[in-house]
Amino acid sequence: MPEPQSEIQHFAKNWQQQLADAFNNIEDLCRYLHLSPDDLPVSVAATENFPLRVPLSFASCIEKGNPHDPLLRQVLPVDEELFAYPGFSNDPVGDLASATQSGVLHKYHGRVLLINTGSCAINCRYCFRRNFPYSELQLSKQKEEAAIQTLQDDASISEVILSGGDPLLLSDSRLTKLILQLDSIKHLKRIRIHSRLPIVLPARITKELICTLSRSPKQIIIIVHCNHANELNERVIAACNSLKNSGITLFNQSVLLKGVNDNAEVLGDLSEQLFCHGIIPYYLHLLDKATGTGHFEVSEAKALTLIRQIQATLPGYLVPKLVKEQAGAGSKQTIL
């Protein structure tokens, strides 16, 4: 387990060094958290196709000695990942059918999605792209030119979504180049970035990154991904404040996860904390049914009950939209 002084030294490092130091071994993570792997349903086999990766910035938010901590459940490889659940597949939202040769996913009218990288700072065990063929579809440097040309040729596209993996893992130079190319497309109005890094690796939110984003004449929106209020530590809040103060709009999307946030009080507290720090609660997703994630599923009926309970206690602007993604549908499906 790192001593307090070594944690101070760790957080003084740049974001690339912090990323390189992430936990990638079950025993090391458990030792840091004062837990024994023998007392947990951990599975080394579950890491063979989807490795463990947890930055210390996220691990430090997990309650030490608590095997049931909701943040730990999000990242700990367990036996249940190997179970076969009916209706779960490797492409649960139909991404592959929407992909073009240029690496553009065009699922919804007026919006396209670019798979910028297959890498993430953290491997969330419920990830809907945990089985995604990134080597074939991510936006390599070679495909980038074709993707930009596709966007220039289609005046119906008003918004580009940078996704992954996590697009903020791109280097500053490559991200700057991509933003400049998008800036040159007149009919684009918005650039939306989906990233978990402000939550799990807040050191990535550097002055250089903020400068790159704030210089763009396009409207920049960042959708962060936070599932529990315990993820919002001081470093995360400072990073999000830096983005917000530079004029970037922040929304949050959560995934409804069994044993993590399937509780009205937990969800209500998350919305309150997000809004307190300038992040708008946006979506609460039902689980996308990716192979290996069935143990996280919460039924639609329970999800509706939870939303009604939140609506009874919070103002409407703090209640996220309950949605699910359905392959082939023209938009996210709101559950009413």
CA 260, 266, 269, 274: dihedral to nearest 10 degrees? 20
Query: Six-digit token pair at 323?
Result: 């949605």
CATH no. for 95-334: 3.20.20.70
Q: How far apart are CA 298 and CA 74, in angstroms?
A: 14
Provide the residue type at 293 as one letter: T
User: If we measure between CA atoms, which residue out of 167, 158, 109, 160 comes closest to residue 138?
Assistant: 167
User: If we measure between CA atoms, which residue out of 285, 230, 270, 283 comes closest to residue 68?
Assistant: 230
* Section 179-195 average pLDDT: 97
Confidence (pLDDT) at 1: 43
Confidence (pLDDT) at 89: 87
220 φ, ψ (degrees, to nearest 5): -100, 130
Q: How far apart are CA 298 and CA 296, in angstroms?
A: 7
Q: Which residue in this structure is represented by tokens 């250089």?
A: 208
Instruction: Tell me: cis bond preceding 165? Omega within 30 of 0 counts.
Output: yes
Q: Which residue in this structure is represented by tokens 């549908």?
A: 329
pLDDT above 50 (res 84): yes
In the predicted model, what is the mean pLDDT of the chain?
Answer: 91
pLDDT above 70 (res 97): no
CB 50 within 8 A of CB 99: no
Confidence (pLDDT) at 135: 58
Q: How far apart are CA 240 and CA 65, in angstroms?
A: 29
Query: Six-digit token pair at 291?
Result: 């192979």
Question: HEC string of the chain?
Answer: CCCHHHHHHHHCCCHHHHHHCCECCHHHHHHHCCCCHHHCCECCHHHCCCCCCECHHHHCCCCCCCCCCHHHHHHCCEHHHHCCCCCCECCCCCHHHHECCCCEEEEECCEEEEECCCCCCCCCCCCCCCCCCHHHHCCCHHHHHHHHHHHHHCCCCCEEEEECCCHHHCCHHHHHHHHHHHHCCCCCCEEEEEECHHHHCHHHCCHHHHHHHHCCCCEEEEEECCCCHHHCCHHHHHHHHHHHHCCCEEEEEEECCCCCCCCHHHHHHHHHHHHHCCCEEEEEECCCCECCCHHHCCCHHHHHHHHHHHHCCCCHHHCCEEEECCCCCCCCEECC
Looking at per-residue confidence, does 8 or 313 come out higher? Answer: 313
Confidence (pLDDT) at 98: 60
Confidence (pLDDT) at 266: 98
pLDDT per residue as tens digits for the range 100-143: 556 688 878 899 999 888 889 999 999 988 876 655 666 666 77
Confidence (pLDDT) at 133: 64
pLDDT per residue as tens digits for the range 144-181: 888 899 899 999 999 999 998 899 999 999 999 999 99
Q: How far apart are CA 296 and CA 153, in angstroms?
A: 41
Q: Which residue in this structure is represented by tokens 């993707």?
A: 147
Cβ partners under 8 Å of residue 299, min gap 6:
none
On the CB side of 54, how many CA atoms lie within 13 Å of its CA? 27
Question: HEC string of 198-261?
Answer: HHHCHHHCCHHHHHHHHCCCCEEEEEECCCCHHHCCHHHHHHHHHHHHCCCEEEEEEECCCCCC
Tell me the Cα Rg of the chain: 19
Q: Would you list the domain boundaries of the chain?
A: 4-82, 95-334
pLDDT above 70 (res 43): yes
Confidence (pLDDT) at 256: 98
* Section 31-42 average pLDDT: 95
